[in-house]
Amino acid sequence: MSARDLGSARAGLNGWLAQRITALYLAGFSLFATLRLLLDPITDYPAWRAWLSGGAMRLALAVFLLTAIVHGWLGVRSVLMDYLHPGGWRFSASVAVGLGLLALALWSVQIVFWDLRP
């Protein structure tokens, strides 16, 4: 039985939409951060900490890390769906990417909630 005979998965829209919404935030944050660093370069660690640990900045950074991970997952998964066809390989690769991104997510939590605490 081919995949076509199984009908629609009733999914796909949320991922596509999430990819676009996260892209908007990533683009906005990247532009803001680039301009900020160009206009007022940061040279040492305490200055970095001071910049990132401010309340609003810390929240913006947390959202940035989360959206980067979600966006990365959707993008890599899309590449795997395009190019990796044996079902077992696609599943294994998806799990490997998922675990890698989960590790990055946990690391992000540590940075935002632990390393950057006032």
Query: Smaller CB distance to other proteins: residue 16 or 113?
Result: 16
Query: Smaller CB distance to other proteins: residue 10 or 117?
Result: 10
Distance of CA 104 to the CA centre of its chain: 9
Distance of CA 100 to the CA centre of its chain: 12
* Helix-helix angle 87-110:55-83, to 10 degrees: 170
Interface residues with other proteins (CB under 8 A)?
2-4, 7-17, 78, 81-83, 85
- Min separation Cβ 60 and other proteins, Å: 25
Query: Smaller CB distance to other proteins: residue 3 or 39?
Result: 3
Q: Residue 46 corresponds to which tokens in the numbers above?
A: 């305490």
